Structure 1
Amino acid sequence: MAADVNEEAVSEALAELAEAEAAEAEARAEAARAKATAARLRGADPDSTDEDAEDAEDAEDDFDDDELEPRGWWARIGAVTVAVAVVVILAIASMVVTGLMLVAHQKVVAQRAHQAELVAAARKGVIALLSIDYNRAKADVQQVIDLSTGTFKNDFTRGADDFVKTAEQSKAVTVGTVKSAALEKESGDTGLVLLAASSTVTNANGAHQDPRAWRMSVTVARDGAQYKMSNVEFVP
């Protein structure tokens, strides 16, 4: 009888132990499912262990750091881009300033060349006007006409024959030189030139290379491709 009781007690104890083990296994399974759910929420492997979860958290921290790093690179790239843009802008500005300086210089050079051309035309015309040799009076007078334009050319042409006759009759030889010439003003294709000139006169009336001084105001104007005398005034 006692043996039956003992066997019954042992059976009950074994049943209780089996139930406890089953409950523990169920608890473990439930814990595993909870971990798997948490892992899925974090994007981790459902089969991962606690260490895997910690690794996942570390990976997330590293990912955050890695996310920051590209932004740092972009910031540095942006700074370099700004620096390059500044250099390019400065280079372009320098080129523009240099171009403007070259244009201004070319304008100054062109203006000086234009002024020199006006003075040269007046100088050449005055020398021709003051240099008449009776031996070639017609040719000398024609040269003055060729170097003239406008009103002065018309007036001088009308008196050319008388001028030639006077030179031939008096056997006059005059040689003119220009001592100084300066442009007083200019306006487009015209200019007013002041000249200090002199001439020597030899003629049949007894003059022998007698010097004479002249102060003249000569207006020059464009005639075709050349500048010529358009008006001549003798200044006291």
Structure 2
Amino acid sequence: MAADVDAEMLAELAEAEATEAEARAEAARAKATAARLRGGEPESETESDAEGDELTDDDEDIELEPRGWWARIGAVTVAVAATVIVAIAALVVTGLMVVAHQKVTAQQQHRAELVAAARQGVIALLSIDYNRAKADVQHVIDLSTGTFKDDFTRGADDFVKTAEQSKAVTVGTVKSAALEKENGDTGVVLLAASSTVTNANGAHQDPRAWRMSVTVARDGAQYKMSNVEFVP
């Protein structure tokens, strides 16, 4: 009988302990649930480390992305600057070429004007018709300047009388002309010329050859003969 009582008591004690353990477990679960609801649940060391690693990766991404954009902007800036420099250099070279071309053109035109003035003056000087001697002589004076103009003007009347008395007709042509030298608004032109002479003394279109050195100088807006020399 006593044995039955002891067994029954032991069973009740075990049941009480199990109930108590279950109650403690339930209380622990309730406490954990409350902690999660409050957001205060502690994180495991592994999770914290993992999140720390993730934050580090994100930070690197955040830092790398702006650097990537700045690198692209820098490359574009360099490319634009290089293009601008090349364009400016091309414009400068083009401008220099244009200026050089204009300078050469102006120089060629200037030389052509010197030669043309000498040629025109020599033709006038070698072409005198006694029928219009005064006008022809005046034409030579109009194409002259400086010392040559002064000298020719002083002898103009005698030149006209000689042409009229001999009934001379001369016709001059220039076979070739070349600029020997130039100095600003003056130049020396070498010419090979010829003339035909007809007069009362029996000459009938007799040809004559001339080699001449003519100095040309600016007189106002024109170039005119300032000196004439016959070269042997």
Which bin holds the TM-score, normalised by the shorter protein?
Answer: 0.7 to 0.9
Instruction: Name which of structure 1's ranges 180-189 and 70-79 shifts more when overlaid on structure 2.
Output: 70-79
Amino acid at match of 2:67: R
Residue 61 of structure 1, CA deviation = 1.0
Kindly report which structure 2 residues correspond to 1:76-91, keeping only aligned pairs within 5 A, or say none.
76-91=72-87
Amino acid at match of 1:198: S
Q: Call closer, same or farther: CA 1:207–1:59 in 2, change over 3 Å.
A: same
Structure 1 segments unaligned to the other structure (5+ residues): 37-47
Q: Does 1:165 align with 2:161?
A: yes
CA distance in 1 between partners of 2:146 and 2:195 (Å): 25
CA distance in 2 between partners of 1:218 and 1:228 (Å): 10
Q: Call closer, same or farther: CA 1:164–1:51 in 2, change over 3 Å.
A: same
SS in 1 for 2:204: coil
1:107 aligned residue (84, 89, 103): 103
Residue 57 of structure 1, CA deviation = 3.7
Q: Call closer, same or farther: CA 1:143–1:71 in 2, change over 3 Å.
A: same
2:120 aligned residue (109, 120, 124): 124
The superposition leaves residues 151-210 of structure 1 with CA deviations (integer Å, 9 ceiling, x where unpaired) of 000000000000000000000000000000000111110000000000000000110000
Residue 79 of structure 1, CA deviation = 1.3
Paired residues in the alignment total 211
Q: Which residue of 2 aligns with 1:230?
A: 226
CA distance in 2 between partners of 1:215 and 1:230 (Å): 17
Q: Which residue of 2 aligns with 1:44?
A: none
Percent sequence identity is: 79
CA distance in 2 between partners of 1:128 and 1:188 (Å): 25
Q: Does 1:67 align with 2:52?
A: no
CA distance in 2 between partners of 1:158 and 1:104 (Å): 46
CA distance in 2 between partners of 1:121 and 1:86 (Å): 52
Q: Call closer, same or farther: CA 1:35–1:217 in 2, change over 3 Å.
A: farther
Q: Call closer, same or farther: CA 1:34–1:231 in 2, change over 3 Å.
A: farther
Q: Which residue of 2 aligns with 1:153?
A: 149
Kindly report which structure 2 residues correspond to 1:127-206, keeping only aligned pairs within 5 A, or say none.
127-206=123-202
SS in 1 for 2:141: helix
SS in 1 for 2:180: strand
Q: TM-score, normalised by structure 2?
A: 0.81
**Could you say what the CA RMSD is over the residues aligned between the two structures, in angstroms?**
3.1
Residue 53 of structure 1, CA deviation = 6.9
Structure 2 segments unaligned to the other structure (5+ residues): 1-8
Q: Which residue of 2 aligns with 1:97?
A: 93
Residue 35 of structure 1, CA deviation = 5.6
CA distance in 1 between partners of 2:85 and 2:117 (Å): 48
Following superposition, which runs of at least 4 residues in structure 1 exceed 3 angstroms of deviation? 32-36, 48-57
Residue 103 of structure 1, CA deviation = 0.4
CA distance in 2 between partners of 1:57 and 1:199 (Å): 110
Residue 215 of structure 1, CA deviation = 0.3
Instruction: Name which of structure 1's ranges 70-79 and 196-205 shifts more when overlaid on structure 2.
Output: 70-79
CA distance in 1 between partners of 2:231 and 2:84 (Å): 61
